[in-house]
Amino acid sequence: MELGKINKLIAERLTPQGLYLVDAEGNEVLLPNSRMPKKPDLGSEMEAFIYRDSEERLIATLEKPFAQVGEIAGLEVMDAVPFGYFLNWGLDKQVLLPKKEVRHNLDIGDFVGVFLYVDTLSERITASARLERHFNHDIDDLNEQDGVICTVLQKEKLGFLVTFGDRFHGMIYHNEIFSVLQPGQKIKAYIRKLREDGKVDLILQPEGMDHVEPSAQKILDRLKENGGELPFHDKSDPQLIQKEFGMSKKTFKKAVGTLYRKKLISLKDQGIQLNSPDSAS
């Protein structure tokens, strides 16, 4: 029976306190009535998460935490105490982030990227924000331009720190972000650059023509919505382009070039104009 992980257990016997689950070695753990949504069939297999309750007793729950032991997640600070911080990881009992496992002070409401492990002395599930010890730096099998599913960990000065795959980590820089990101959010991103130190630079949209085509369609759709004309061109303010289209000026210019080469638009001094079907043929 693994502490801090989801275990496959057998429903063995019901008691006034709840249901006792047993593993292949015969170890028992209680699933309290309060955590049992309905009466189970005895002998059936169940997936239950094992942790310690407020009295440090092993206990089971059918609820799923935001992360298990051995995983990395972005968790919210719920309380600050002299010896550390308590984080919300999706269960009734919060997980402790000791002061010794933090690089700088945190405030309630902050999100922090942490690695979950079982402390060998206390045998408690514990968090560490010293992620450099726990990230996977062996990126030899990764490829630039690959798409990956990331979990947003925390906001930093340069951008958002994310993790993906087998505990790889990377950064999505602020100037590459055109939508709101939240810690804990799962997003698709693309590998832009693999660094020698094991870090990865990521972007939210694929580069190259795969990126230009959907961007061109977005501009085309916006033109149709606005009577065939838009007051944007290659001299327009990048921030206005970002606000209007949700893309960088570089991407906007590539997309406009695609539409122009396909004769779908005309370039005017005041902006871009949608061509009639006859002129596009």
pLDDT in tens, 250-264: 888 888 988 898 889
Tell whether the model's pLDDT for residue 210 goes beyond 60. Answer: no
User: What residue ranges do the domains of the chain occupy?
Assistant: 6-61, 72-132, 147-203, 209-280
- The residues with which 113 forms a beta bridge, in sequence order, are 74
What is the C-alpha to C-alpha distance for residues 53 and 94, in angstroms, rounded to an integer? 10
Say if 6-61 and 147-203 have the same CATH topology.
Answer: yes
pLDDT > 90: percent of the chain: 65
Task: Band the pLDDT of 277: cuts 50, 70, 90.
Answer: low
Provide the pLDDT for residue 122. Answer: 87
Question: Is the pLDDT at 51 greater than 90, yes or no?
Answer: yes
Indicate if the pLDDT at residue 90 is higher than 90.
yes
In which order are the strands placed within the sheet that holds 28-32?
28-32, 18-22, 6-15, 45-52, 58-61
Rg from Cα positions in the chain: 26
Asked whether the predicted pLDDT for residue 5 surpasses 90, the reply is yes
DSSP state of 152: E
DSSP assigned state of 129? -
Quick check: 211 pLDDT over 70? no
Interatomic CA distance for residues 48 and 64, integer angstroms:
8
> Quick one: pLDDT at residue 79?
97
Closest CA to 269 of 244, 245, 236: 236
Arithmetic mean of pLDDT, 203-220: 78
Would you say residue 50 has pLDDT above 90? yes
**Is 127's pLDDT higher than 90?**
yes
Over residues 153-171, mean pLDDT: 93
| Burial group, residue 37, by CB count within 10 angstroms (0-12, 13-18, 19+) | exposed
Burial 88-110 (b: 16+ CB within 10 A, else e): bbebeebbbbeeebbeeebeeeb
- Average pLDDT over the chain reads 90
User: Could you tell me which CATH number the domain at 72-132 has?
Assistant: 2.40.50.140
Instruction: Kindly list the distances between the CA atom of residue 239 and the CA atoms of 19, 174, 213, 217, in Å, as whole numbers in the listed order.
Output: 58, 13, 21, 20
CATH architecture of 6-61: Beta Barrel (2.40)
> Do strands 200-203 and 168-173 pair parallel, antiparallel, or not at all (unpaired)?
parallel
3-state DSSP call for residue 252?
helix
Residue 54 phi, psi (nearest 5)? -65, -20
Instruction: Tell which CATH classification among 3.40.228.10, 3.30.70.990, 2.40.50.140, 2.130.10.10 matches the domain 147-203.
Output: 2.40.50.140
| Tokens of residue 121, six digits | 């002395």
Higher pLDDT, 279 or 228: 228
160 band by pLDDT with thresholds 50, 70 and 90: very high
CA distance 120 to 117: 9
User: Taking a C-beta distance cutoff of 8 angstroms, is the pair 269, 235 a contact?
Assistant: no
Amino acid at 228: G
Which of residues 256 and 206 earns the better pLDDT score?
A: 256
Could you tell me which residue, 123 or 97, shows the higher pLDDT? Answer: 97
Mean pLDDT of 136-140: 90
**pLDDT on residue 198:** 84
Confidence of residue 27 (pLDDT cuts 50, 70, 90): very high
Backbone torsions φ then ψ of 102, nearest 5 degrees: -125, 140
d(CA 66, CA 90): 6
What is the topology classification, in CATH, of domain 209-280? Arc Repressor Mutant, subunit A (1.10.10)
Task: Answer for the pair 31, 2: CB distance below 8 angstroms, yes or no.
Answer: no
Kindly report whether the global pTM for this prediction surpasses the value 0.85: no
Amino acid at 232: F
Among 212, 227, 226, 225, which Cα is nearest to 260's? Answer: 212
Q: What integer pLDDT is reported at residue 281 of this predicted model? A: 45
pLDDT of residue 208: 66
DSSP label at residue 110: -
